[in-house]
Amino acid sequence: MKDADFNKATEMANAKFAELHTHIGSICSGFADVEMELINAIGLLVDDGDLDVGEIVADRLSYSQTVDLFERLAKHRLKKNPPRELPRLVADLRKAAALRNDVIHSSWLCSLGEKPTLYQERVRRKHTRRQQSAGTIPLAQFPKIGKFIHDLFMALQDFETEYPVFGQQ
């Protein structure tokens, strides 16, 4: 590869990385919002007058355990009027975590060719070897993942609004 071609390919790769990092930041920030809203929902389910209760209850729980707790509390507190969308909401909370983990716990590499390509290399805890896969999450998917997470945040807020039984049961 000639110096000029190498420099052009490097610039293209750097531009892809800049775009990638912007999307990763958006996904991280959106997921943090979802986590906080989930904790708020737990707080409302436990004690509608004090949102800090959610933080106290979920303090040492993993995200997965927090989702389990939310599901169990919602089923218990809303048993007189069970929400039809709860299974979908819980499934989406789990899917968001899987998507976030696939993005966050990967090392992103870029080939320097005529058309730079992003590669995802992810270390799985259950396996000691590295797993590399090309195009596992195409760059075009990142805005969709970000939108999915944002929509989930809004769905959690809607859930809290649509089921104002907190403190009424």
- Separation between Cα atoms, residue 148 and residue 161, nearest integer Å: 20
Q: Quote helix, strand, coil % in the chain, to nearest 5.
A: 65, 10, 25
Domain that holds residue 32: 3-97+142-162
Better pLDDT: 33 or 162 = 33
Number of structural domains the chain divides into = 1
* 54 falls within a domain: yes
Q: Which two tokens stand for residue 57?
A: 């209850």
Question: Would you say the C-alpha torsion 84, 89, 95, 98 has a positive or negative sign?
Answer: negative
C-alpha 129 chain-centroid distance: 25
* 70 falls within a domain: yes
- What are 52-100's pLDDT values in tens digits? 888 899 999 999 999 999 999 999 988 888 888 999 999 999 999 999 9
Q: What is the mean pLDDT of residues 151-156?
A: 96
* 62 falls within a domain: yes
Q: Which of 49, 64, 142 is nearest to 97 (CA)?
A: 64
The band of 168, judged by pLDDT with boundaries at 50, 70 and 90, is very low
* 117 falls within a domain: no
pLDDT at 165: 53
Three-state DSSP class for residue 79: coil
- Separation between Cα atoms, residue 12 and residue 112, nearest integer Å: 9
pLDDT at 2: 79
* 127 falls within a domain: no
Q: What is the pTM of this model?
A: 0.82
- What are 7-59's pLDDT values in tens digits? 887 888 888 888 888 999 999 999 999 999 999 999 988 887 677 888 899 99
pLDDT at 114 over 60: no
* 22 falls within a domain: yes
